[in-house]
Amino acid sequence: MTNVENKAKEAEDVLKGIVGLRLYGSSAPVCGTRFFYFGSSTSQVGQDGTHYRLGLECPWRMRKAGLIIVGNDDRNERDEGNDDPDWEPTMPGGDLQRQKLVELLGECRKGDIATTHPGFTVTNVKLGECGDIEIEFESNCILEVFPDGSKSMQWTIKSPDQPSFVLMNGVVNKTKKQSMPVGAPLNR
């Protein structure tokens, strides 16, 4: 196995660490980046503690029963109740992506989306040879990630007490330092 294949296998093992955990929230603190947080059944958005964080800078979607529920491109669309004539896709809030994620997951808390609906415990994770990710939930909802570039960062996975993994320049790279020590505060 090559070094690149070893890193990809390690990243897949880290991703499989979310199996049995719950998607407990999501945030989009910077334009174009969407974070999904995975932790125990009692984890809450904004709470300190052990969790995994998947950061996406590439196309993604959540689908169920053959229908796309929400996707990356929805951040560029006005939400159904947004009548602000000055709204632009780069503004925080007011976008269809946030609206659809809130409807799917539960509620908005201080700008972040908290999962209050049942069915978001991870049952399976797959990492494809081009860095695509598929995360299946007990509700039969699936989060799909589609890297679409060979020169930029596509996604990152941070896990407790382990280095992070980043899909960048078309290959999975491992960071040198550990990401979040157990019990460390949630830093976005």
Segment 69-92, tens digit of pLDDT: 999 999 888 888 888 888 887 777
Average model confidence (pLDDT) across the chain:
86
What predicted TM-score, i.e. pTM, was given to this entire model? 0.87
Per-residue pLDDT at 158: 92
Higher pLDDT, 47 or 42: 42
Per-residue pLDDT at 48: 59
Residue-range domain boundaries for the chain: 3-178
pLDDT band at 9 (very low <50, low <70, confident <90, very high): confident
pLDDT band at 93 (very low <50, low <70, confident <90, very high): confident
Per-residue pLDDT at 175: 86
Cβ neighbours for 81, distance < 8 A, ≥ 6 positions apart: 99
